[in-house]
Amino acid sequence: MKKVLKIKSQKNKSKIVCLTAYSKNIATIIDKHCDLILVGDSLGSVLYNFSSTKKVTLDMMIEHSKSVRMGVKKSLMVVDMPYNTYRNPKEALSNAKKIISQTKCDAVKLEGGKKVCQIIKTLIKNKIPVMGHLGLLPQSATNFKFKGKKITERKIILRDSKLLEEVGVFSIVLECIESSLAKEITKTLKIPTIGIGSSEHCDGQVLVTDDLIGLNKISARFVKKYSNIEKQINDATLRYKKDVLKNKFPTKKYSY
């Protein structure tokens, strides 16, 4: 709970730095620089080439989260509840308890507004911290366009953000929401907003780490590539291959 309160206290003080992790090694590296690490169900498309996050299972999330847990020491660790694991309060509570007890994560995240308020209430009543997710909702999306262009859509997203705050989420991810709406939500709420493709006005930012380091081939407008790890892995593999073919590796130094 201390880590959750720390994230909340950062609102209007310091930007909240968030990234995804699906395994221990990446989590260990990014933990030093992040406030929050999310085991996102984006792992379905990033690691398993699924066409949608709907195919991600609870077991997949739990196994990846156990690995991530080993690398996360400082950051708040949040785990996505996958599709069809929170269709009603009873199902959500049972699955959230499973996630928390097996992965030792600090909180869970689930997608949606008004529809999931009763579910969120039940989790929070049972002392499970919850992060909300509004805007583009990959688990139920029929298209991947940004949200908040139409007045009616804007009103629903703003209303939902207030409802989520009311039921007690500690923060909300705003995915692909039009800039001025993200700004309005961020100004209206007392809890922090974490943007992905939702402008600089949010209280924090999140990106998929594989996108940020150039390991995942994606060309979304909101992704900035900070490194080209694909090239580095390719170059290292090529040098290794040459050495093996020319019998330059292993030398005595690398042998018993």
Residues of this chain that interact with ligand KIV (CB under 6 A) are: 20, 38, 40-42, 80, 173, 175, 196, 206, 208
- C-beta of 128 vs 208, nearer to ligand KIV: 208
| Beta carbon of residue 94, minimum distance to ligand KIV (angstroms, whole number) | 22
165 is an active site residue: no
- C-beta of 158 vs 197, nearer to ligand KIV: 197
Q: Which of 248, 196, 231, 256 is nearest to 17 (CA)?
A: 196
- C-beta of 10 vs 205, nearer to ligand KIV: 205
- C-beta of 206 vs 213, nearer to ligand KIV: 206
CA distances from 114 to 122, 135, 162, 171, 183 (A): 14, 13, 10, 16, 21
| Beta carbon of residue 109, minimum distance to ligand KIV (angstroms, whole number) | 7
C-beta atoms surrounding 142 within 10 Å: 5
| Beta carbon of residue 20, minimum distance to ligand KIV (angstroms, whole number) | 5
| Beta carbon of residue 189, minimum distance to ligand KIV (angstroms, whole number) | 17
- Ranked by CB distance to ligand KIV, the top (closest) residue is 40
| Beta carbon of residue 254, minimum distance to ligand KIV (angstroms, whole number) | 38
Catalytic residue among 91, 153, 165, 175: 175
- C-beta of 128 vs 202, nearer to ligand KIV: 202
Active site (catalytic) residues: 175
